[in-house]
Structure 1
Amino acid sequence: MDVPIKKLSIIIPAYNEGRTIYKILDRVKEVTLINSIEKELIIVNDCSTDDTEDAILEYKSNNPSLNITYYKHEQNKGKGAALHTGIIKATGEYLIIQDADLEYDPSEYNLLLKPVVDGFADVVYGSRFVSGKPHRILFFWHTIGNKFLTFLSNMLTNLNLTDMETCYKLFNTGIIQGLTLRENRFGFEPEVTAKISRVPKIRVYEVGISYYGRTYEEGKKIGWKDGFRAIYCILKYNLFSR
C-alpha cells in the first residue's frame, strides 16, 4: 500500500564548504522526487571559518522558489550537533541527511524513498557496499574500518546492515525526533543506529547507492580518531546506555 508523503526534509550540515556548496544545492534543486513530493532544504552551518555562510545566503537569495531554511551555530560543535539542529527543525513526514560535499548523489533520493512510498519501510539506509553502483576507489583501511564498525554494530543491534556509517539515511521524522540523540560529531551514526534498532516494530531497509569519495586534499574530514570514537559509541549506546 502506498504511503502518502507530501514533503521530504533534506538536512545539510556544512562546515567550510564555501567552494562547493552551491554544486550540491544545484544537484538537490534538479532532483524531481517521486509522487511530486515537495523538498524542504535545511542547511546548518556549523560555524564555518570560510565563506560558507555568504555562499549559502547568496544561493538562497538567487533561488527564491527553493524552500531553504538556514541556521548557524555560533560555535563549532560537530556534524552530529548540526544534524540535531536540522532534525529538530524538520517539518517533512520523512527526512534525509545530505553531506555538503560531493560524495553522494541526490539523484538517488528516489531509491531510498521507494521502500517507504511502497509501504514497506520506516528507515532506509543507502549502502556504498551493495554492488551495482559507481564507487570511487580510495582508501583500503577506511573500507576495512567501515566494515568492521558495521559488523560490530550489527552484532549488538541484531541488524544485518552492510554500511552503518553511510551518510544517506532516510528516517520517518516523527520517529527520529522522538529519540534523544547526544553525539555531536561522527558518533551520530552508531548512536542513531543503536537507538533506531530498539524502536518497537521498526522496519529498516537498505538500498545500494553510488559513492564519489573525496581525498583529504579535496576536503575529507573524518579521521582515525573518529573511528575509535565510533567503537566507543557502538559499545556505549548498545550495552551501557540503553
Structure 2
Amino acid sequence: MKLSIVMPAYNEEESIGETVSTLTEALSKTDIPYELLVVNDNSKDKTEQRLIELKKDNPHLTYVTNPGPNGFGYAIRYGLDRFTGDCVAVMMADLSDSPEDLIKYYNTMLTEKVDCVFGSRWAKGGQVIDYPPMKKVINRVANRIIRFVMNISYNDTTNAFKLYKKEVIKGVQPILAPHFNLTIELPLKAIIRGFSYTVVPNSWTNRKYGESKLKIKEMGSRYFFILMYCFIEKYFSRGDFKVKS
C-alpha cells in the first residue's frame, strides 16, 4: 500500500530541509513505498528554491506550487487533489509531527484494517513538547466543545496529523474549509459518513524556526462554521451523505 504525505509549506525555508531529510531517513529504514508531496503555498521566502535543491537528491520528493487562493486549507486541498498513493497523511512542514508516529499510523492502518488513523497528543502515551500554555488552554476547550456538539469520544480533532485511505478523501468531498478549520472538517466528515477509524497516541514538538501560521483570533468563527456544518449534516441530513454504514 503506497503512502502519500501531503505537506503544506508557507515560508518554511528554514525548516523544510530538516523536515524532509528527517522524514526521508525514517522511512528509508522501512519497506513502505511512499511519496512526499510538498505544496508550496506561494511562499514569499526561499522555500521553493530549497525544494528545488532537495528534489535533486530525493526521488521520493515532489513539490507543487499552489498559485492561489492561498491558505492552509487551500494548500492541503491542492495536495489532496494530486497525491497518487493508496492512503495519505497530512503532516506539517515545521517538523512538529514525528516521522516515527507516521510509521506507526501506517502499520496500524494495515493491522487493524481501518479507513483512518487519528493521532491524539492528549491520550495516554501522547506527548507535547514546548506547547504554548495559552494555545493549550484554547485547544482543550475547543476539543471539549467539539466532543460535546458532535457526541464523539475523540479528544484531538484539531490535530492536523492524520492518515486517511484514498477512498476516505473521495468520500468526504466536497471539502469546504480554506484555512486551519480543515483540520476538523476532514475527520468529522469521515466519522459522520461511516468510515472506520482508530486513535493512537502521538507526539508534537514546537517548531524550531519561524512562527506559527495559525492566528487564533482569526480562526474562531471559521472553526465554528465548519463545526455547525458537520453538526447539521450529522443530525439533519438523514444520512444522505453517508458513504459507509
- Normalising to structure 2: TM-score of the pair? 0.87
2:182 corresponds to which of 188, 212, 223 = 188
Which letter maps to 1:210? S
Partner of 1:82: 75
Q: CA deviation at 1:168?
A: 1.1
Q: Deviations over 1:146-169 (max 9, x none)?
A: 122222222333321111111211
Partner of 1:126: 119
Contact 1:47 1:76 in 2 (8 A): no
1:222 corresponds to which of 179, 194, 214 = 214
Partner of 2:4: 9
Q: Deviations over 1:111-168 (max 9, x none)?
A: 2123211134211111111233442133222112212222222233332111111121
Taking only aligned residues, the RMSD between alpha carbons, in angstroms, comes to 2.1
Structure 2 counterpart SS, 1:118: helix
Q: CA deviation at 1:171?
A: 0.2
Contact 2:90 2:160 in 1 (8 A): yes
Partner of 1:45: 40
- Counterpart CA distance in 2 for 1:127 and 1:33 is 25
| 1:205–1:113 CA distance, 2 compared to 1 (3 A) | same
Which letter maps to 2:192? R
Structure 2 counterpart SS, 1:89: coil
Q: CA deviation at 1:88?
A: 1.3
Structure 1, unaligned runs of 5 or more: none
Matched, 1:98 2:108: no
Q: CA deviation at 1:170?
A: 0.3
Contact 2:86 2:166 in 1 (8 A): yes
- Counterpart CA distance in 2 for 1:50 and 1:19 is 10
- Counterpart CA distance in 2 for 1:23 and 1:98 is 14
Q: Deviations over 1:38-64 (max 9, x none)?
A: 01111111100000000001100132x
Partner of 2:227: 234
Q: CA deviation at 1:37?
A: 1.9
- Counterpart CA distance in 2 for 1:183 and 1:133 is 27
- Counterpart CA distance in 1 for 2:29 and 2:144 is 33
1:203 corresponds to which of 174, 196, 207 = 196
Q: CA deviation at 1:76?
A: 5.0
Contact 1:9 1:95 in 2 (8 A): yes
Structure 2 counterpart SS, 1:42: strand
Structure 1 counterpart SS, 2:79: helix
| 1:151–1:134 CA distance, 2 compared to 1 (3 A) | closer
The percentage of counterpart residues that share the same residue type is 25
Contact 1:88 1:177 in 2 (8 A): no
Structure 2 counterpart SS, 1:95: strand
Structure 2, unaligned runs of 5 or more: 238-245
Q: CA deviation at 1:193?
A: 2.4
2:138 corresponds to which of 133, 136, 145 = 145
Q: CA deviation at 1:35?
A: 7.0
Q: CA deviation at 1:33?
A: 7.3
1:170 corresponds to which of 146, 163, 168 = 163
- Counterpart CA distance in 1 for 2:143 and 2:189 is 15
- Counterpart CA distance in 2 for 1:48 and 1:59 is 16
Matched, 1:154 2:147: yes
Pairs aligned (count) = 233
